[in-house]
Structure 1
């Protein structure tokens, strides 16, 4: 009887809704190449379904009657493109999901309980409950577009697409902030990087951006009070639709479409800027924008080329390799190339006081191995490193950018007509003659002595390695020492996978650092593979942060010291080992604590060794979900920056004394990195430490470091050496001494609500500290 009543309610609901919209019942599905690949609105104006995407398909809402498809909403933008065998299902229990190959599933609405779905003529796709209530709708979850009748609520964001043929999340975002200000940022940019704002800050916490059917675009407080008009409206209503979109170039525009002429593209009737280069970061790192024939054109710094000429936002990279400072190497010339009217995000590390002219600024950078670019303004010289972000070259700037360029040979060396060239051919020639003479004499001496000492050196090294290093244990010895392996302290990542056992042996056997666990010995006997490490009495960092004894956690100063220890360990692996090592699984469970609470990195079973002069590698995905860098999922080359990303997540966990994902926290706090960003954006960082008495400036710096580390683009993340330097600048003393502790807050007892995955919180890199 209950099922019959439910069925009757569903039929009644379908009848009531059918007059204004088309309905989709449970069990319906779509496929890209099937008989049904879209669900149309009643008039056929809009369609919800699959459409071609670069290298595959996407699922979304688009205009079906206009000749050139206009996409107004896209599902699962972090998982594009979809494959040809993807299937959209409106399940029998009322969920909306995309099934892909190998059991992968993308949840659009996974709370369940929806009785009917509807594609409406307004462009809104809605899921209704059995009583006709709206459970979920695309109007509440915009991607890059607003349609008439839709609004952008406080705290919501629009993200541009990567390109016109790729609807994945791109470079720019439009944010309706809680302070009432509507702001445009480059993805990964701080507030200082904003390039457009409505200047309505302080007008209230419930301000929305609204679009009416006559093209009126405006900001409204509490749904009643008009804050600001962006357009005047009063455009034609009949046979015309309007949409506001943040375009690929970062400018948001208002378009109109005349439904009487379906072959005509939409017309722009308003734009946030008429400057095609207004979007900061349009050309990516080490690139800048110029307007040519009313179109934006990206350029690279001298000596650089596009990573992908078809995708400017990926930025520019050197068209040569620099292994070290070669200023004094034979056969190599170094020069400074000037770029007038330039500016970029400040990353100054030194201001030479003696510089007064552009030539002196060039010389200061040339004589500093750390300097890669300099910015000269008047009588001020600012030495900086790469990459350069948010670079602009305009007539309004008086700065001169000075870029260090390495020239392969003297024959193709510096242009003598360039006044900024500081490396003279004559000087190089003199160095060459002197160098050849010295080398000739040295070779005679070395050749004579090499034969005499070769055998002695080989013998010495053999003796050294015979007496230093992990000890080989028999299985019987370890069984006796551990009393039959009675007490298990934990499990590593390799388990009984022997190949990873060999990796861990190779990695840890050649390392020695106070912040790495010491390998005492090993057993490689028959089928037994065992590693013997030093005993770490305090357990793991996860034990201390997430499951502390007596419900207490370390004080602020102790947590900072732990973060510094971990960073030092990663720095050793990346830059101080004979062969660079990518750990690939940095997480609190793999950070062990000794009796002095010194943090030490352990578990090298997933580590990846780089060959000499190798900076990147390709391998199958490794690591632990929640700590894995985005490039793993995108099949991009893997560099040491994957460890920097993982460290960033761990650093945020250390600061907040909680896991990166807490399913029993409120929805806006469940994902740590998003919550941290929201708190940073609203200047409410004290929430992260629950009012703990910490230095606010230090907390702000630490949060910035963490957010900088977890940038989606590896090139925007700092090196671990930079991280160490920044962390060591935030040392503080704990009131009451290092043993002082505070009580950990209990998680709030509320269920995890479904968080729509279409728009996630963007992350911020750091410009100033």
Structure 2
């Protein structure tokens, strides 16, 4: 059967034969408009365990033997989500040979930050190439509609090209490099290679990059300002302009000026090399194919450091110190105080974290930890780097860092021709791997730390003050005059209640970044007189509304007295001035007379509980959606705990407070119970608040930390994976409490029993689901100090940190809900500000 193509000779196809071999439809290098490919209908080529790539579903195939290029859907090993990618493969008789685990090598990915499930690729009649997820949402597009595109071609060099009637490329993958360059590919000014965070995780990008600028080629960490880690500041000649580029040609990485090679060779590369890749560890490696062993080998390491692996910024992670023998350690104060701990004891190369995060609000409690003979890659491997301060003393260098809030470390470097009391000072806003090398004796490092002794609550001085104050208050309350004053104050407060309320409301307008203030009448118009109710809960109702620009919002009307006022003020002050992709956006608020209303962005898919506690096949989440939701929640909480100016503890994490947008991206909502904690405090005392079942055991002590959110997160993960509520009275007594069931299944060695049995997709991903349950167990540890921080949780989900093996599964029952090992079914009474039932609607629907 012949199919005719209306392509010009440049497409290398006037017609092609669509062949069938062993049931596999052979892919071709070209395609017409109005063509659709569905991953599930394309036969996949699977690879063995020696390759990080699990399978390739080829759409376009170019070449025979090595190198050949396949463009299509790629799934990573043990994953069910897909990437639309170009890979170097080995072909045999015009089909991909899958007998060698060395293949394929992915050199370009379209939807790097948006992997898809059950994807569809459509080459539209308007000339746009569109990748859609299984739910129909657009994950990636070339955005070439209306640009006279007539065809799609995969070239001999592995370039995916959309071209017009004159054979001129309208769009090409070479203009959007990922982490690799293949033979014939250029790197132009403004472009960069950005590696993945690990060898097997292609969907998370590193801070590393190889960047082209108008002045040269830079291998660097993309911080602000960038930190160059390799002396490849190869300067362009005086003819430098925006049309200059480097190109990977046989045997060299060469400079081209005005499309003409000017003879400059940046890096010599073995001629047999077929592609080069900037990798997660900072190395730029060229690869060639060993035909005898049928596998890829490293032909050259192109950014070899003067100090070996220690010269690479990620070799020991953040704050990790790389020694001459290749070991990674954490900064040591040489005293009783430990300021840093390893992120993962079994993997020292993952770096270190601060026991107490730096806080710009408390610089008086900071000090600079002096570490002699400590160097850093920005100047040790780049002699041309300019210091932040030149010809200064060590004292000047330390003071400069101490006075600069954004400075996290300072390095004092004394050169051979500089007077003994002066040198160069480098100030760092981000600290990556450090170097402790024998040949770097002329450098001293100063690491800024937050003094732990100043953030421990109930210190002796504080207790002394508290005792003194207690004596004074006791004496005062015992006197008659105090009684008269108290009575007078009560009368004054009752008369001034309205004025105080107005002052508090006006206070909101003084907070920087506050959202819009609505009038009550305007909200009646927006919601059509509150006619479209989305949901109802203990604190009021939520209504759908439409703003003048056509965008939808959710309007939450709060009903009640004092506890509602507290909740309202807490929510507006907390979320009103912060913004994050995984936090629901507060559009505005209304405080008019007795009305208290909050206006949120509209979340079309409602709250998470509707999707995981389903009673109908209409609401089904597959594994990748559940995993992405868990990841989104973790990112949102990490932002609240570690990235805001003041630490924010949510205190009511549960499925009802996780909202889903049209693409099932999860956002944390309802900050009515949240608590702000200063960075100089490790814990806070507050009344119990939250929802039964999600409350951490330490609530009984009244002193809590952000780890209560980690516990609640663990419960939510357990619910997402099992599709069961934390309390289910429809079950027999021993199965009512989900955490108790979890513990029992662990003891029985039947953890897979807890995975959602109504979802075939969840059963197919049993191994990954069980690993997620182990993460939940880590978050549910009874001792809050043994729970991970949310930043560690994110790293676990990124595949950078492993869950410890020594977990304790003796989970405590939640506070106020245990007696003789049986869970009370009666309603538990909490503080007035707390919702009483897990089913309370506490966010916009």
- What TM-score results when the alignment is normalised by the length of structure 1? 0.51
Deviation of residue 273 (structure 1)? 2.3
Q: Distance in 2 between matches of 1:370 and 1:306?
A: 24
Is 2:279 aligned against 1:247? yes
Alignment deviations for residues 434-493 of structure 1 (CA, whole Å, 9 cap, x no partner) = 65873563353355367654444444333333135559xxxxxxxxxxxxxxxxxxxxxx
The answer for the alignment partner of 2:37 in structure 1 is: 29
**Which secondary structure state, in structure 2, belongs to the residue aligned with residue 142 of structure 1?**
coil
Cα distance change, pair 154–317 in 1 and its aligned pair in 2 (3 A): same
**Residue correspondence of structure 1 range 573-592 to structure 2 within 5 A:** 579-583=573-577
The answer for the alignment partner of 2:157 in structure 1 is: 122
Q: Distance in 1 between matches of 2:424 and 2:485?
A: 49
**Which secondary structure state, in structure 1, belongs to the residue aligned with residue 207 of structure 2?**
strand
Is 2:262 aligned against 1:221? no
1:584–1:606 CA contact under 8 A, matched in 2: no
2:515–2:576 CA contact under 8 A, matched in 1: no
- Picking from 79, 101, 109, the partner of 2:113 is 79
**Which secondary structure state, in structure 2, belongs to the residue aligned with residue 269 of structure 1?**
strand
- Picking from 99, 102, 109, the partner of 1:68 is 102
Q: Distance in 2 between matches of 1:521 and 1:342?
A: 60
Cα distance change, pair 17–357 in 1 and its aligned pair in 2 (3 A): same
Q: Distance in 2 between matches of 1:434 and 1:516?
A: 39
Q: Distance in 1 between matches of 2:196 and 2:478?
A: 66
- Picking from 598, 610, 615, the partner of 2:648 is 615
Is 2:446 aligned against 1:401? yes
The answer for the alignment partner of 2:142 in structure 1 is: 109
1:115–1:130 CA contact under 8 A, matched in 2: yes
- State the superposition RMSD in angstroms: 5.9
1:325–1:369 CA contact under 8 A, matched in 2: no
The answer for the alignment partner of 1:89 in structure 2 is: 122
- Picking from 240, 246, 249, the partner of 1:209 is 246
1:9–1:130 CA contact under 8 A, matched in 2: no
Alignment deviations for residues 531-567 of structure 1 (CA, whole Å, 9 cap, x no partner) = xxxxxxxxxxxxxxxxxxxxxxxxxxxxxxxxxxxxx
Q: Distance in 2 between matches of 1:371 and 1:156?
A: 28
Q: Distance in 1 between matches of 2:368 and 2:395?
A: 17
Alignment deviations for residues 657-713 of structure 1 (CA, whole Å, 9 cap, x no partner) = xxxxxxxxxxxxxxxxxxxxxxxxxxxxxxxxxxxxxxxxxxxxxxxxxxxxxxxx9
Unaligned 5+ runs, structure 1: 1-5, 414-427, 472-505, 530-574, 592-602, 626-631, 641-712, 714-769
Q: Distance in 2 between matches of 1:514 and 1:335?
A: 30
1:304–1:317 CA contact under 8 A, matched in 2: yes
2:5–2:13 CA contact under 8 A, matched in 1: no
Q: Distance in 1 between matches of 2:125 and 2:406?
A: 62
The answer for the alignment partner of 2:471 in structure 1 is: 441
**Which secondary structure state, in structure 2, belongs to the residue aligned with residue 197 of structure 1?**
coil
Deviation of residue 60 (structure 1)? 0.9
Q: Distance in 1 between matches of 2:475 and 2:260?
A: 90
Alignment deviations for residues 393-439 of structure 1 (CA, whole Å, 9 cap, x no partner) = 343252132443544699x99xxxxxxxxxxxxxx97x589658735
**Residue correspondence of structure 1 range 604-753 to structure 2 within 5 A:** 605-606=599-600, 614-615=647-648
Cα distance change, pair 313–130 in 1 and its aligned pair in 2 (3 A): farther
Cα distance change, pair 338–105 in 1 and its aligned pair in 2 (3 A): same
Cα distance change, pair 16–200 in 1 and its aligned pair in 2 (3 A): farther
**How many residues get paired?**
504
Alignment deviations for residues 21-56 of structure 1 (CA, whole Å, 9 cap, x no partner) = 733344141416842521332316322122224853
**Which secondary structure state, in structure 1, belongs to the residue aligned with residue 177 of structure 2?**
coil
The answer for the alignment partner of 1:188 in structure 2 is: 223
Cα distance change, pair 18–447 in 1 and its aligned pair in 2 (3 A): farther
Q: Distance in 1 between matches of 2:40 and 2:348?
A: 29
- What TM-score results when the alignment is normalised by the length of structure 2? 0.47
Q: Distance in 1 between matches of 2:224 and 2:454?
A: 39
Is 2:484 aligned against 1:461? no
Q: Distance in 1 between matches of 2:219 and 2:670?
A: 31
The answer for the alignment partner of 2:176 in structure 1 is: 141
**Residue correspondence of structure 1 range 312-351 to structure 2 within 5 A:** 317-320=353-356, 337-342=369-374
2:131–2:140 CA contact under 8 A, matched in 1: yes
Deviation of residue 193 (structure 1)? 4.3
The answer for the alignment partner of 2:213 in structure 1 is: 177
1:304–1:316 CA contact under 8 A, matched in 2: yes
The answer for the alignment partner of 1:276 in structure 2 is: 309
Deviation of residue 98 (structure 1)? 0.6
- Picking from 41, 53, 70, the partner of 1:47 is 70
Deviation of residue 99 (structure 1)? 0.6
The answer for the alignment partner of 2:58 in structure 1 is: 38
Unaligned 5+ runs, structure 2: 18-26, 45-56, 91-99, 333-337, 380-386, 413-419, 531-568, 581-586, 589-596, 602-635, 675-790, 792-845
Cα distance change, pair 32–124 in 1 and its aligned pair in 2 (3 A): farther
2:193–2:210 CA contact under 8 A, matched in 1: yes
Cα distance change, pair 398–198 in 1 and its aligned pair in 2 (3 A): closer
1:372–1:385 CA contact under 8 A, matched in 2: yes
Higher mean Cα deviation, 382-391 or 66-75?
382-391
Cα distance change, pair 318–33 in 1 and its aligned pair in 2 (3 A): farther
**Which secondary structure state, in structure 2, belongs to the residue aligned with residue 161 of structure 1?**
coil
1:372–1:404 CA contact under 8 A, matched in 2: no
- Picking from 80, 83, 98, the partner of 1:58 is 83
Q: Distance in 2 between matches of 1:200 and 1:89?
A: 43
2:309–2:315 CA contact under 8 A, matched in 1: no
Q: Distance in 2 between matches of 1:369 and 1:442?
A: 41
Cα distance change, pair 145–635 in 1 and its aligned pair in 2 (3 A): farther
**Residue correspondence of structure 1 range 483-502 to structure 2 within 5 A:** none
